[in-house]
Chain A
Amino acid sequence: MGDAGLSEAEKTFILHSVQDDFREDGRGNEDFRHMELETSLISNTNGSARVRLANTDVLVGVKVQLTPVDPERPEVGRLEFFIDCSANATPAFEGRGGEELGSEISAMLTRAYAFPGAVDFHSLCVLPGQQCWLLYVDVLLLECGGNLFDAVSIAVKAALFNLKIPNVTMTKDEGGVELDLSDDPFDFKRLDVSGAPIIITVNKIGHYHVVDASEKEEECSLARLMLGVTEKGTITAMRKEGSGSLDPNSISDMMEVNTRFLCLPGI
């Protein structure tokens, strides 16, 4: 569709609408669009979720794999994020077109999940010093309608919540330890995701701060602040994006807006 490049007047219209705290679709500056969440929808994954936020559609599948531990951190399991910007979403993602966006999102997720309390990394370790679970979190963007980062992070958290890790029994052999994977589909454990963060993006439009911006609104904003927040109110990653710069005070304001959404992480 012809969304690329808004006219001067349309931008002004959006700018003023944010000033009035009454946006193009009737939302206030701090309202989210309608969101739909679905879990357990792909049988070949260990956990999956899909989030649809207005036109933004994100599908996440988590697969677990046993792997030798990282020699630097032998007591914990690992998380790995991969974002696939499908050309289904927009032809602009074709070939390597979506790579940059994908690596940006995965970098932000990696950082947001890089603190010890995100998930119980110790429970992901099967045999300290030898084997641990590696969780491959694969995100597929099906449709882009603004506010990708937030939608992706919510879908990731839901998929981790939905994750079923098969139980492993260990038997000691003379050659070493043998790992036996349970083949009973009901013999699994869940991952505690109460500490897992989600990302909230605050866009600066004019002098006001807006959450869950639509594509049009994102075009009007020069700078945005993305924060990984947890239910407890801590901030696990912060990043400024966009070509504009920000006043230190407005950063604090934006952070405050963010912290008001702390109720969100509890799904």
Chain B
Amino acid sequence: MPLDTRRLTGPESSQSPYNFAPVNKLDLTQLDKRPDGRSIKKLRPLFLRTNVVSQARGSSYIEMNETKVICAVYGPREVLRREDFSLKGQLTCDFKFTTFSCRQRRQYQQDSQEKDLSVLVLEALEPAVCLHKYPKSQINIFITVLQHDGSALSAAITCASVALASAGIEMYDLVVASSAAICGSVTLIDPTAQEEDALLKATVKPDNNAGSVTVAFLPSLSQVSAISSDGELSFEILNKSMQECVANCQKLYPVLEHTLVKHQQELEAGRS
């Protein structure tokens, strides 16, 4: 891996002090009492705002309590390399956690998890964008997670779809994403990082369900544009939590609509 010598690099081997601190373990037996006081079915409050990066074609910011994501959209612009020529437009996505966004410091270079998430976001958005309207051009989406407290993927997808819409890119539908964490028979909607971690690292009994699922949904077309799951889950549970996520996406849809309407009103007001 090429290292940027201008950056301050830490010592070759170091450990986070949190490894030695007593971990605030989540009580997996009492999941109905969530640390932030929500019930298991309750979503976190969602704050959405467009036009936060003035120089981008479109941008948006999403906040779900402690999860904060910002997204900027540039383009459509011409594809530079001729071999990439195609009659359909291209969508690119760059997903990045800031180095200080998580409990552990992250590297400034994109790691494999971030690459994986980039692809997932891209695949969630591709079915919604009318790419055939943008021949020979590319649209770039840049997503930065400022603070990660669980469900970063779904926040990023929702945020990016609003940013695309605010950039005036033609779309069939908005994309709303929602996630759930599963432990045994309990499904926690919109999990925090603490809950996600506890489940992924939990060494539960082999036939127990533990994992998480994220669904991206096109509410008007009623189609799922992306789905991804982690951990070991049975077919029935996965199916059930997928339906729950879809229902939550539908709940969130008005918030997105409202934000975009407000965005449009602001633009109109500015014009007159």
Report if A and B touch in the complex (beta carbons < 8 A). Answer: yes
Residues of chain A at the chain B interface (Cβ within 8 Å): 71-73, 103-104, 106-107, 110-111, 114-117, 195, 223, 225, 230, 232-248, 251-252, 255-256, 259
Cβ A114 vs Cβ B200 within 8 A: yes
A71-B15, A248-B243 are known contacts. Are A239 and B228 too (CB-CB below 8 A)?
A: yes
Which of the four size classes fits the interface of chain B? 35 or more
- B242 surroundings in chain A (CB, below 8 A): 248, 251-252
A236-B232, A240-B224 are known contacts. Are A116 and B203 too (CB-CB below 8 A)?
A: yes
A235-B232, A245-B218 are known contacts. Are A240 and B123 too (CB-CB below 8 A)?
A: yes
Q: How many angstroms from the CA of A240 to the CA of B229 in the assembled complex?
A: 10
Q: Number of contacts between A and B (CB, 8 Å)? A: 112
Q: Is B185 an interface residue (CB 8 A)?
A: no
Cβ B228 vs Cβ A240 within 8 A: yes
Q: Which residue of B is nearest A121, CB measured?
A: B203
A245-B223, A246-B223, A248-B224 are known contacts. Are A236 and B231 too (CB-CB below 8 A)?
A: yes
Q: How many angstroms from the CA of A116 to the CA of B207 in the assembled complex?
A: 11
Q: How many angstroms from the CA of A236 to the CA of B210 in the assembled complex?
A: 10
Task: Taking A237-B228, A247-B224 as given, write out 14 further A-B residue pairs in contact, using a Cβ cutoff of 8 Å, ordered by the A residue number.
Answer: A71-B19, A103-B112, A107-B115, A111-B116, A115-B211, A234-B234, A235-B233, A235-B235, A236-B233, A244-B127, A245-B223, A247-B222, A248-B224, A251-B227
Cβ B210 vs Cβ A115 within 8 A: yes
Q: Is B155 an interface residue (CB 8 A)?
A: no
Give per-residue flags for B102-137: 1 if the beta carbon is below 8 A from chain A beta carbons, else 0: 001000000011011001100100111001000000
- B123 surroundings in chain A (CB, below 8 A): 240-243
A115-B232, A243-B123 are known contacts. Are A238 and B227 too (CB-CB below 8 A)?
A: yes
Cβ A238 vs Cβ B228 within 8 A: yes
Q: Is B206 an interface residue (CB 8 A)?
A: yes
- A248 surroundings in chain B (CB, below 8 A): 222-224, 242-243, 246
Q: Is B221 an interface residue (CB 8 A)?
A: yes
Q: Is B201 an interface residue (CB 8 A)?
A: yes
- A237 surroundings in chain B (CB, below 8 A): 228-230
> Distance in Å from the Cβ of B247 to the closest Cβ of chain A?
10
Cβ A230 vs Cβ B232 within 8 A: yes
Q: Which residue of B is nearest A108, CB measured?
A: B116
Cβ A195 vs Cβ B206 within 8 A: yes
B120, B227, B234: the one contacting A225 at CB < 8 Å is B227
> Distance in Å from the Cβ of A216 to the closest Cβ of chain B?
20
Q: How many angstroms from the CA of A24 to the CA of B218 in the assembled complex?
A: 34
- A107 surroundings in chain B (CB, below 8 A): 112-113, 115-116, 119
Cβ A246 vs Cβ B224 within 8 A: yes
Q: How many angstroms from the CA of A245 to the CA of B193 in the assembled complex?
A: 28
Q: How many angstroms from the CA of A255 to the CA of B238 in the assembled complex?
A: 10
Q: How many angstroms from the CA of A243 to the CA of B223 in the assembled complex?
A: 13
- B160 surroundings in chain A (CB, below 8 A): none
Q: Is B213 an interface residue (CB 8 A)?
A: yes
Give per-residue flags for B44-77: 1 if the beta carbon is below 8 A from chain A beta carbons, else 0: 0000000000000000000000000000000000
A107-B112, A111-B230, A251-B242 are known contacts. Are A259 and B235 too (CB-CB below 8 A)?
A: yes
